[in-house]
Amino acid sequence: MKKILIIGVLATFSAIAADVSTMDALYTVPHELDCLLKSGHIQGACCSEQGIYLSHQLGIDKIGWDGKLIKHLDAPGHLGDSAYANGKIYGAFVIRDKNARKGGKQGLVRVWDENLNLLNEAWFDEALDGIVVLGDTVYVGVDKWGHGKHPGCCIKRLGLDLSDKGNVDFDLGYEINYGVQTMATDGKDIFLGNYGGTSRVSADLKTNEKLVFGCSEGFGMVPKSISKRDTPVFFKVCAMGGNMQGWRKDPIWRVDPMKNPNPPRIRIEFYEYKDGKFNSITTKSSLKSSTKR
């Protein structure tokens, strides 16, 4: 009897440990992101205790930690990336305007509260994409070299009031397209997601290291109240079949988007950052079902 009791206790403990060690993938609800039928795909993301913010060409969408849409806000295209800090959401834009300077492109940084009410904005003469806040500095990616492959990276630094603190150029050590697409931080270093690779960069932008982690459509650190961990946990945006190219193969949505059998959806996966590596902690069984809602 004692042996059976011990085995039962160990089994219970193992089950609890397993629950703590992983997090279920989060799925958006079918048709709640049908705005992607026109905007294409998620460009960047951030999160707070209230939920996850998904930025794209036509605006920004706030979803809860249950995957349900809370609010959609229209914004000028394209809104490349978003960042969260101190109860505020920061967005980096490149505005394509034939009348604008710098080859028809201008940059815009907007700040909203967590309910997506506009608080502040500032314009710049550069195409911007990728944004994160660390300490008293807002870091923004600058698309300086364009589409052609290049190892260069340009980061603009702003004050929290969006005052310009100047740009820093450095060599990534590998080639990318465009500028920085997405950015995130663990509170110490900055992570850059590019079309071509991901880097960890020091806050002073003097050192960088390439990482094995694809995150070009958005990622960010999860609040401890959500992750239930002392080690940093990041979420990553993963396009499902109805995102970007998937829905374009089926023209039925042009007649009635609600009849689209493959609507745009997003899966959120979770990764623990430890010893300089991103390790998946997403429950494998939760990745098998995309029809749970």
Per-residue pLDDT of the chain (293 residues; tens, 9 = 90+): 444 444 444 444 344 444 458 999 999 998 899 888 788 889 999 999 999 999 998 899 999 999 999 999 998 878 999 999 999 999 999 997 655 554 568 999 999 999 999 999 999 999 999 999 999 999 999 999 988 999 999 999 999 999 999 999 999 999 999 999 999 999 999 999 999 999 999 999 999 999 999 888 899 999 999 999 999 999 999 988 767 666 566 555 556 666 666 788 899 999 999 999 999 999 999 987 554 44
User: 106 with 123: CB under 8 angstroms?
Assistant: yes
pTM of the model: 0.88
Among 238, 234, 232, 226, residue whose Cα is nearest residue 267: 238
Overall fold of domain 23-287: Tachylectin-2; Chain A (2.115.10)
User: Which among 60, 36, 31, 65 is positioned nearest to 48, based on CA atoms?
Assistant: 65
- Write down how long the chain is: 293
**In sequence order, which ranges of 130-268 are alpha helices (DSSP H)?**
224-227, 245-248
Domain ranges across the chain: 23-287
- Lookup result for tokens 């663990």: 186
